Amino acid sequence: MTPHVLLPFDTEYLPERRADVLIVGGGIAGLSAALAAPIKTRIIIACKGHAIDANTYFAQGGVAAALSHKDSVERHFDDTIRAGAGLCDRESVRVLTSEGPAAIEALLKLGVPFDRRGRELAFTREGAHSAERVLHASGDATGRVIQTRLLEKISSLPNIEILPHLFLVDVLLDGGRAAGALFLSSAGALSVVRAGSVILASGGFARLYRESTNPPGATGDGVAAAYRAGAELSDLEFVQFHPTTLYLAGAPRFLISEAARGEGAVLINSSGARFMKKYHAGADLAPRDVVARSILKEMQKTGATSVFLDMRPLGRFLGRRFPTIRRALQSFGLDPARMPIPIRPAAHYTMGGIRTDLNGRTSVRGLYAVGEVTMSGVHGANRLASNSLLEGLVFGRRAMRDAVAAPPRKSRRLAARLTGKTDGPDVDVEDIRVSLRSLLSRNVGLERSAESIRESADRIDFWERYTLNRQFRYPAGLEMQNMLTLAKLLVRSALWRRESRGAHYRSDFPHLDDLKFKRHSAISKK
């Protein structure tokens, strides 16, 4: 059984920092929240690694918002609802799409240099969007450009401090209310940050899968910590697989932006034939879940290990629009201007997470969550491309406005003891991680069934019996325990949802079942 805390502690004997609001995570959601704080509010941002290790930094495609005169908030709203396969929260989507333009205007005022055509902002179209509404920067380096500018602004503000290389162990609770967090340094030292409110912006858990576009730190530590603190989780079964990631021996699963298809790239099979029109009227610009499963079906039909993305139709535009992608591919001897690129789907984004309201509040008082760590209701069963950065911008600001209203609390000594736990140097942590990621990729990936899910659950239960009863004084060990915890909850949710909806496809239940399952899954320790 998962413990309520990972490590024993006593705040009386630990070094301590204080803040009005503690933010865990340095991606766009956490940084946007920090910048929304009044200048006299003391903010600490704790990062697992460097701030740039967040998924935001690697986001290529862009950020969607209805700013073009050819677009409207209503169209963006409708596209998001349609992509979400019946599980979007309409009020949350309304907030996202209606407040999105103002959030982008705020970035422009900060000096974020979005690409332009002449003096006008340059918009592109991605899958399942009915209009060109995706803004980009430096071609395909949108996340890096935005995050760099946000960090530059934060570095000029005296009320915000960024603390790198702090692994979140657990959320501290005082009388059932979040009162800070316990952290472990890379050197194995425990410390405490006390705060009036805690905002988790620590990202998702797509690295639970062997093939993933995410950086190594995306292991869901914030989701697991919130679960141990009693927060409700929701929709963990919905893991989005990006259709087009580089598939080459020895190369990382490098994402090739969906914007490439928006600009004219096409998918072809091993025979060189286009195939997407067989599967969906939207062809290469169908929703992500449809494209990913269509690629899988095409691979199964042809017996190939990949399909190909043909970017040659972009011509000279390719190098200007996608310089990062082209350089990365060329470093592996692939020139997208001359040859199709081998690709296949990889785990990319988690729609489920900590359940929140419109202001980022969780079911635990004083604990907020924003960005991919959440189930805010905006993505439903399948995220619309380029809505993720927008979610971080919009809901980060809303969470901070609510969090700063919390009155200051008197600090009390907090402690937790663990019984029946032993030191665990004899456990091969990396072997467990590799085995778990392979298991989920094989059994609970793009396609699942009751048989494959139950096999995964049995294996995870077995691993838990001799790993969760150990104390690890280094981040990789605690990270592995978090991964097992989330994997168990994911397979439980996937087994419960006996239908196929959005990113969740059950081969034994291949159809929608609105009567029984047009609702969110929910899990909590309470």
Q: Which CATH architecture has domain 423-523?
A: Up-down Bundle (1.20)
pLDDT of residue 420: 64
Residues forming beta bridges with residue 146, ordered by sequence position = none
Q: Reading across the β-sheet that carries 522-523, which strands appear in turn?
A: 374-375, 353-355, 233-234, 522-523
> Quick one: pLDDT band at residue 2, thresholds 50, 70, 90?
very low
pLDDT of residue 424: 53
Known active-site residue 365: no
pLDDT of residue 9: 94
Residues 354-380: b if buried by 16+ CB within 10 A, e if exposed:
bbbbbbbbbbbebbbbbbbbbbbbbbb
Cα 451 versus chain centre, distance: 27
Structure confidence by residue, pLDDT tens digits, 297-343: 999 998 999 999 999 999 989 988 999 999 999 999 999 999 999 99
Structure confidence by residue, pLDDT tens digits, 29-55: 999 999 999 999 999 999 999 888 888
CATH number for the domain running over 245-345:
3.90.700.10
Longest Cα pair distance anywhere in the chain, in angstroms?
A: 69
> Quick one: pLDDT band at residue 237, thresholds 50, 70, 90?
very high
Query: Is 76:123 a contact under the CB 8 Å cutoff?
Result: no
Nearest to 391 by CA among 25, 64, 47, 144: 64
Residues 6+ apart with CB under 8 A from 295: 243, 267, 307, 343, 344, 345
Calpha distance 225→215 (Å, rounded): 20
Residue 243 clears pLDDT 90, i.e. is over it: yes
Question: E-strand spans in 251-352?
Answer: 266-268, 307-310, 341-350
Local structure of residue 60 (DSSP, 8 states): -
pLDDT of residue 130: 94
Which of 144, 210, 228, 288 is catalytic? The answer is 288
Range in 58-62, 70-74, 81-85, 494-498 the model is least confident about = 58-62
Quickly tell me which residue has 């900060």 as its tokens.
110
Listed by start position, the domains of the chain span 245-345, 423-523
> Quick one: pLDDT band at residue 1, thresholds 50, 70, 90?
very low
pLDDT of residue 170: 98
Encoding tokens for residue 340?
């199709």
Quickly tell me which residue has 């209203």 as its tokens.
405
Quickly tell me which residue has 């292991």 as its tokens.
219
The H-assigned helical ranges of 274-387 are 288-302, 317-321, 323-330
Calpha distance 453→487 (Å, rounded): 11
CA Rg value for the chain: 22
Structure confidence by residue, pLDDT tens digits, 441-467: 999 999 999 999 999 999 999 999 999
